[in-house]
Structure 1
Amino acid sequence: MIRERIKRWDYWLVGILILAAFLYGWSIWTAGYSNNFYTAAIVSMSESWKNFWYASFDPASFITVDKPPVALWFMVICVKIFGLHGWSIVLSSVLFGIGSVALIYKMIKPYFGRLAANMGAFFMTITPIVVAVSRTNNMDATLVFFLLLAGYLLQVAVSKQRAWLVAVSFALIGVAFNIKMLQAFMVLPAMYFFYWIASTAGWKKKIMHLVAATAALVVFTLLWPLAVDSTSTSKRPYIGSSSTNSVLNLAFGYNGSQRLLGQTSGTGGRFSGMGGSSKKGNHAGKMNGTRPTGSKKMTAPKGMTGNKKAGTAGGQTGKMGQNGGGGGGSNIFNVGSAGPFRLLQKALGQQVSWMFPLALMGLIATFLYEIKKQRRWWQTTKKQQQLFYWAGWLVPVGAFFSIASFFHPYYMVMVAPPLAALAGIGVATFVGALRTSKPQWQLYLLAASFWLTGILQAWYAYSYYPWLSWIIVAGTAAASLLAVFFYRNTLKSMVCAAVATVFLSLAPGFWALTPTLAGASDAIPSAGPDLLSSSGGASGGLGSEQANTKMIKYLEKHNNGAKYLFATMDSNTAAPYIIKTKKAVMTIGGYNGTDNAISLAQFKKLVKEGKVKYFYLSGKTTNSALVRWVKKYGTKVKSSEYSNSSSTQQTTTGKSNTAMKQGTPGKGGKRPSGKAPQGMKGNQMGGRKNMKQGQPGKNGKTSSNSQTSSFGGSMGGQSGTLYKLD
């Protein structure tokens, strides 16, 4: 019995899953604490059930993170089992990433065969942003898994005619909402339409099933938000990044409409220039020529080519050229120019769109070929129904990100599943056309998709490796043309088709390998050669702040049992202290330092009661009434008591790439990877926050002494003023 099951195994799938495990999990044990913001929450949530339920950012449950808790729950479980380590906080993301690859296979195989399923799983595995995201403690890998699981169960519900499974699949979308809110709802149009055209039940039963499924969706969507919002504000933490201390406000505001229209709340202190759609002429990374309060210009090390003046925290002052563009990310991240071709631009395309032409033409060719099998024009075949599902996922998600004003480049992981699935189907359809002598129009159309995909990939790779571009174009064109030429000879045509596919996998496969080779686990994940030309650096939040051990010792000595180790304005300043000490740090302004989590009167009361005795005023702090009060009535602690100038120049031990990294110069200070990306000055790929600056060593090579790892004890470049509150 066991032998028979082993014989039925798809060994290609086993190999693909092993590859996924390697890409997603290798060297995560050396990557540091990934996103400090969420790692601090994981530490806090592991301390009590209250913190666990609310996704509290700090151990005292003063304020929450800016997302619901479901993804963090899995991370906390891993930490409770294995302890707090850099690898344990991302373990669930690694497993969900591998699970997503398996689900792609399971969803494709019953309808398009083993080859299409294997190719779809393989393309999902080597999608660069999928690799980068699966190595972090961000929520996206968990989100994608639950969306795929919901789609898979809906397929099973249709094939086995199980109405209750329809409700379960929609309920999982409700669970996914509590991972990353409205982003989960992007697949709902595909699910509703797919069930309507694919189910064999009568139209009345379909309506009943979908009504029940919608009810399940609503219940599982609102269960946690309503439970939190209905709890007295005095008995729960403030909802971070919301404007009204409400989960629903967070969902439909900061994490909803503002992603489309531009950020208007929860911003300002952390990132100057955020808010509203970008104006014409403002390029991603340019920050409208402004810098965050308290930031300073930094000079690049000698020997570095490209932009000599590195950008400041929150943005770059240099031009981003063609890879920039208005309308992207509120000028914080390089997400390209808003428009119908945004996903194909280098800024986002290098992360996800390597197989886009193949996916699109595979969809068209497969769908049109199935038309002759339709009994009526309005009827659809099973394959067409599946194509509608994947297209129904791709179109609304792609349309949203084509016009959205505020999002991070790694959100492109949302379009990875449909692109991988349709590309895999395209390859299988091309092979099928070669085998069975299907209509020659289909053969030529799919061959053309190989050529166009090769040209697109060559464009993406050219700014780094011109030689690779020529190899991709020449190899793909020659192999696909030979496959068409030998289409009557099955063996020769199959070999040529396989070779063409290999050529199309070279560049995205290498891009996908870069996070693994670099040991990256970034707060703002991305993939690309820049990771390899960087010197490595501190893992953590967007500014890579690190805990100052000397300040911790000072506070522990003088705090005299206060509830909070200290108070500060933004979460990224507080996070490393929470991680290192597991003590409460009051984050008054939330993630960006602008939340209204506590009034000045309430804060004065806490100071009077002795619950808050120190306030740390970092360089990013806004000039709010509370900050002005601290400056006026607080007593400055001598910097020599809690700060050491040498603390900002210790050696890095982590390998995260949260801040923008500059390539390691070779001889003469030149970047080894050749030319910088087209239209960009310096190595400004992926929209990273800060340039990691180091002192050039021999031959202009940059060392990594600008920041310390999350495990280290220095400030890592963080500067501020400590006030004692009497």
Structure 2
Amino acid sequence: MTTLALSVRRTAFRPVLPVLLAATGVLYLWGLGASGWANAYYSAAAQAGATSWQALLFGATDAAGGITVDKTPASVWVMGLSARIFGVHAWSILVPQALMGVATVWLLYAAVKRVAGEAAALLAGIVLALTPVAVLIFRFNNPDALLVLLLTAGAYATVRAIDDGRVRWLALAGACVGFGFLTKMLQAFLVLPAFGLAWVVGARRNRLLGLAVAVGALVVSAGWWVLLVTLWPAADRPYIGGSQHNSVLELTFGYNGFGRLTGDEVGSVGGGGSGGGWGRLFGAEMAGGIAWLLPAAVVLLAGGLLATWRRGPMWTSLLLWGGWLVVTAVVFSLMDGIIHAYYPVALAPALAGVIGIGAVALWRTGSTGAAVLSGAVALTALETYLLLDSLVLLVLGLAVAALLLLVEQHPAVAVLAAVVALAGPAAYSSQTAAATHSGALPAAGPAAGTTNLGGGMGGLLDAPTPGADLVALLRESDRTWAAATVGSNNAAGYQLASGRPVLAVGGFNGTDPAPTPAQFQEYVHNGQVRYFIGDGGMSGTATGGSDAGARIAEWVAENYEAQQVSGATVYDLS
């Protein structure tokens, strides 16, 4: 009878995975096209990549290859290839992000199930799918969607390696992190301490060999593109956006590297992140995206490690997911450089893995575990109240927390606890999915993004939507670049609307020395640029960046006559 009961119980869970993945797909895909180009900066790079293989390889923001995005280009490769196959439109760019989200939930489910069973895997998958910042990013086209998928794949491969001892799984884990570097540079490496610790503690053999293989795979998968860019003649490739010396190594270790930790980011116009400190993840900017279950995760991580102390794969996996969660949370909390509200999506798989494994591990320990679970549910109810101001969910959460103490290990109470704990993030996630999000700084929640009409300073972070007359003017140009303007988001708006390459003077912030004034004047002399669109955005040197963009704009204004087209200031350089 016991064997039959266990068999029935396992069978009952099996249909749940397809339902989980289908529901996740609906949440991430429904109404996806409403956000339009979403982050036009990356959409323009995908458009360029759909036209030019060289632009795709380097991640250039225009098909003529003027300058690259200020990240390594793996996410652009995915979007660019999709746009080549299905055409350049919002769905071809955004659907891959949603599918990455479904795949991430699947990989997390598989990794957790392998060590803690189907109930833990299901709980982890639901938590990840309903984390508001995950809903935001898997419906958006920032590089973070691919980064999270690759890191979760790396975690799954590490779990498999620990389970069967085969170092080929460690090679796959290293390759996943390496391609994570090609997606968002050094941020991908924040998981390495957790992966390494889990392997060293959990492996039964080949510890040093496994580490060596993983490091080798990481170096090869991350380094080939860096070596390619370094060896490629600078005159024959796009300028490396985000750097001051056309160097991918400078971009790696400076603007997108240690500068993010110290705040010393040459070329930035925004300074350091605001509200740094241990409470940053619970502050107004980030809490709605990630904070709902963070207190519970801390409790379940500590309780789960004690409950499984040095016993088998559950303990090792808690080290993996918990190490990922702790290291990344500490870095995000204390870094002094630029940080945005969507960054904590990198915490979501680790948070979900800790909750799934920790909850099941504690449930199996009886009354002691029930007390810890009760505390986790009570903390979640309090956090939900602080975020949603819902007295009903607070009372329900505290009541369920009490039931966990009074009713020993009843499955219905466990299900009720999960439902009440997830009610808050589920509500916020539904609002996130229903809202439209655009621009460079999306945030979870109901607020819709804004669109910058015409041009103006807002174009630093939001792409303009040009009027019909300006679009027609740009489409008539057969030059290398139909136009040039300061700032990549401005250029993206004009390029996406017209389908013609637009040169982003100064890159994302307008502070890269590309092109130099002399180079730009040569472009004009050679007839490579037809129009210059003014009022384009910021181009300052407050953080040591170049003022080339400002000087180019001044030169154009001094030497060419301005005209107003669809509300934008346009100079005919012919």
TM-score by length of 2: 0.91
- Aligned pair 1:722/2:570, yes or no? yes
For residue 708 of structure 1, what is the aligned residue in structure 2?
Answer: none
The code of the aligned residue for 2:289 comes to Q
2-structure distance, mates of 1:179, 1:257? 17
For residue 381 of structure 2, what is the aligned residue in structure 1?
Answer: 454
For residue 530 of structure 1, what is the aligned residue in structure 2?
Answer: 447
For residue 59 of structure 1, what is the aligned residue in structure 2?
Answer: 63
- Aligned pair 1:49/2:53, yes or no? yes
Contact 2:464/2:494 (<8 A) preserved: no
The code of the aligned residue for 1:75 comes to M
The structure-2 alpha-carbon separation of the partners of 1:722 and 1:146, relative to structure 1 and needing over 3 Å to count, comes to same
For residue 407 of structure 1, what is the aligned residue in structure 2?
Answer: 339
1:429-461: per-residue Cα shift (whole Å, max 9, x none)?
45434xxxx3x3332222111111111111111
The code of the aligned residue for 1:550 comes to D
- Aligned pair 1:500/2:414, yes or no? no
Q: Identify which of 471, 482, 507 aligns with 2:403.
A: 482
- Aligned pair 1:361/2:361, yes or no? no
1:599-648: per-residue Cα shift (whole Å, max 9, x none)?
22222222222222322112525373322222222222x32xx235xxxx
For residue 259 of structure 1, what is the aligned residue in structure 2?
Answer: 260
Larger Rg: 1
2-structure distance, mates of 1:343, 1:10? 35
Which deviates further from its counterpart, 493-502 or 398-407? Answer: 493-502
Q: CA deviation at 1:11?
A: 2.0
- Aligned pair 1:223/2:229, yes or no? no
For residue 17 of structure 1, what is the aligned residue in structure 2?
Answer: 21
- Aligned pair 1:420/2:346, yes or no? no
For residue 291 of structure 1, what is the aligned residue in structure 2?
Answer: none
For residue 586 of structure 1, what is the aligned residue in structure 2?
Answer: 503
1-structure distance, mates of 2:465, 2:33? 19
For residue 532 of structure 2, what is the aligned residue in structure 1?
Answer: 615
For residue 286 of structure 1, what is the aligned residue in structure 2?
Answer: none
Contact 2:68/2:240 (<8 A) preserved: yes
1-structure distance, mates of 2:460, 2:529? 24
The structure-2 alpha-carbon separation of the partners of 1:545 and 1:149, relative to structure 1 and needing over 3 Å to count, comes to same
Q: CA deviation at 1:398?
A: 0.5
For residue 548 of structure 1, what is the aligned residue in structure 2?
Answer: 467
1:219-298 → structure 2 map (5 Å cutoff):
219-262=220-263, 264-268=265-269, 274-275=270-271, 277=272
- Aligned pair 1:595/2:473, yes or no? no
For residue 552 of structure 2, what is the aligned residue in structure 1?
Answer: 626
Which deviates further from its counterpart, 520-529 or 613-622? Answer: 520-529
1:368-389: per-residue Cα shift (whole Å, max 9, x none)?
1223xx5xxxxx5322111111
The CA RMSD over aligned residues, in Å, is: 2.3
2-structure distance, mates of 1:447, 1:499? 12
2-structure distance, mates of 1:209, 1:432? 32
2-structure distance, mates of 1:614, 1:402? 44
1-structure distance, mates of 2:277, 2:437? 31
The code of the aligned residue for 2:353 comes to A
1:111-510 → structure 2 map (5 Å cutoff):
111-201=115-205, 205-262=206-263, 264-268=265-269, 274-275=270-271, 277=272, 327-328=273-274, 337-371=275-309, 380-405=311-336, 406-433=338-365, 438=366, 440-462=367-389, 469-487=390-408, 493-510=410-427
The code of the aligned residue for 2:333 comes to S
2-structure distance, mates of 1:209, 1:267? 40
1:662-720: per-residue Cα shift (whole Å, max 9, x none)?
xxxxxxxxxxxxxxxxxxxxxxxxxxxxxxxxxxxxxxxxxxxxxxxxxxxxxxxxx4x
Structure 1's unaligned 5+ residue stretches are 269-273, 278-326, 329-336, 375-379, 463-468, 645-718
2-structure distance, mates of 1:266, 1:167? 36
The structure-2 alpha-carbon separation of the partners of 1:553 and 1:579, relative to structure 1 and needing over 3 Å to count, comes to same
The code of the aligned residue for 1:358 comes to A
2-structure distance, mates of 1:471, 1:238? 55
Identity of aligned residues (%): 32
The structure-2 alpha-carbon separation of the partners of 1:607 and 1:85, relative to structure 1 and needing over 3 Å to count, comes to closer
The code of the aligned residue for 1:32 comes to G
Which deviates further from its counterpart, 71-80 or 36-45? Answer: 71-80
The structure-2 alpha-carbon separation of the partners of 1:149 and 1:19, relative to structure 1 and needing over 3 Å to count, comes to same
1:36-74: per-residue Cα shift (whole Å, max 9, x none)?
111111111011211111111111111111112211111
2-structure distance, mates of 1:367, 1:385? 9
Contact 1:514/1:528 (<8 A) preserved: yes
Contact 2:158/2:199 (<8 A) preserved: yes
The answer to which structure, 1 or 2, has the higher relative contact order (CA under 8 A, 6+ apart) is 1
Contact 1:75/1:91 (<8 A) preserved: no
Contact 2:106/2:125 (<8 A) preserved: yes
2-structure distance, mates of 1:483, 1:556? 66
2-structure distance, mates of 1:165, 1:529? 41
Q: CA deviation at 1:485?
A: 1.1
Q: CA deviation at 1:526?
A: 2.2
1-structure distance, mates of 2:438, 2:123? 27
Which deviates further from its counterpart, 419-428 or 501-510? Answer: 419-428
Contact 1:158/1:195 (<8 A) preserved: yes
1-structure distance, mates of 2:535, 2:222? 37
1-structure distance, mates of 2:211, 2:363? 37
2-structure distance, mates of 1:9, 1:502? 17
Q: CA deviation at 1:486?
A: 2.0
Contact 1:450/1:477 (<8 A) preserved: yes
1:545-694 → structure 2 map (5 Å cutoff):
545-556=464-475, 559=477, 561-622=478-539, 624-636=550-562, 638-639=563-564, 642-643=565-566
The code of the aligned residue for 2:52 comes to S
Contact 1:78/1:91 (<8 A) preserved: no
Contact 1:31/1:519 (<8 A) preserved: yes
1-structure distance, mates of 2:407, 2:525? 85
Contact 1:128/1:526 (<8 A) preserved: no
The code of the aligned residue for 2:340 comes to H
The code of the aligned residue for 1:478 comes to A
The structure-2 alpha-carbon separation of the partners of 1:479 and 1:73, relative to structure 1 and needing over 3 Å to count, comes to same
2-structure distance, mates of 1:208, 1:427? 34
The structure-2 alpha-carbon separation of the partners of 1:579 and 1:449, relative to structure 1 and needing over 3 Å to count, comes to same
Matched positions, count: 551
Contact 1:67/1:181 (<8 A) preserved: yes
1:135-159: per-residue Cα shift (whole Å, max 9, x none)?
0111111111111111111211222
The structure-2 alpha-carbon separation of the partners of 1:9 and 1:115, relative to structure 1 and needing over 3 Å to count, comes to closer
The structure-2 alpha-carbon separation of the partners of 1:457 and 1:152, relative to structure 1 and needing over 3 Å to count, comes to same
